[in-house]
Amino acid sequence: MTLPRIDVLVPTCGRPAALAVTLTSIGAQDYPELRIVVSDQTEGSTALGQAEVVAVLRYLRACGRQVDTWHHLPRRGMAEQRAFLLAQTQAPYCLFVDDDVILEPGLVRRLHRLLARQGCGFAGSAVHGLSYLGQERPAQEQVTFWAGRVAPETVLPGSSAWARHHLHSAANLFHLQRRLGVPPDQPRAYRVAWVGGCVMFDTAKLRAAGGFDFWPALPAGHCGEDVLAQLRVMERFGGCGMLPSGAYHMELPTTLKKREVDAPWALLPQGDPAVLSTPSAPSAPAQERP
């Protein structure tokens, strides 16, 4: 059976060593139909010209991987950076991978299989923070699996479903999947608030939900743009996490120094959808946000 092509989209800025590791793990995937697109926003000397990145790019191309690179400036914020990458996408599926994530070799194939089987808008592999191994947090390791096919749902900031994000903190998901022992070749879909770092979209569904077209409404110093895009896709088409995950966080300091605006909090209603639909229900004040 012919596999559909997947465009792997990597936004990066000022992290040549981490980028080289991430690209190497992408190159090690057992999925043949990959095109890698890198958008670098390093100001001045591009990370794409650093020796470690140049070496990996040569390796990828020598192995037959198609790699397209861009030095995309000026910086207008991560939402615009992701919108630029999405505009370069030509494949029916696109996988956003942050530049500080390590992927297990079979991750792309498993993630695509899950997404195609579920027919939803996205499936994500939440990243493990292995420096937290052994720090068990049972209250944060709760999971709700989809019993049937993934369905659309509305998740808003501050809602009860929003609390699902705790599962993706530290090494919570790693501890959970180790206890459950789910085979990697039989992954399970579970309900999420959002997934950070490694998310595969059905490209047409992401675009139908607006992609990252909200970027002009945000200042350059923002965060949460990936969350907002996923929430919009989830509301129309559904979305899920994949367990076991297979993605690992390098736990490097953030390169986003200015994060004064959190996109979903700024551009979406807050609270549970059912409660918000009741006219007498007051909205939660900003100071009560978790």
Q: How far apart are CA 203 and CA 155, in angstroms?
A: 21
pLDDT-derived band at 161 (thresholds 50, 70, 90) equals very high
Number of Cβ atoms within 10 Å of the Cβ of 244: 23
pLDDT of residue 289: 27
Token duo for residue 236? 């129309």
Token duo for residue 83? 């919108």
CA 1-123-87 angle, 5° bins:
85
Token duo for residue 265? 């909090």
Higher pLDDT: 283 or 82? It is: 82
pLDDT-derived band at 279 (thresholds 50, 70, 90) equals very low
Is residue 290 over pLDDT 60? no
Strand partners of residue 36: 8, 67
Please give the model's pTM, rounded to 2 decimal places.
Answer: 0.92
Is residue 184 over pLDDT 80? yes
pLDDT of residue 271: 83
Q: Which of 181-185, 245-249, 263-267, 277-281 has the lowest mean pLDDT?
A: 277-281
CB 21 within 8 A of CB 250: yes
Sketch out the chain's domains with CATH numbers.
6-269 (3.90.550.10)
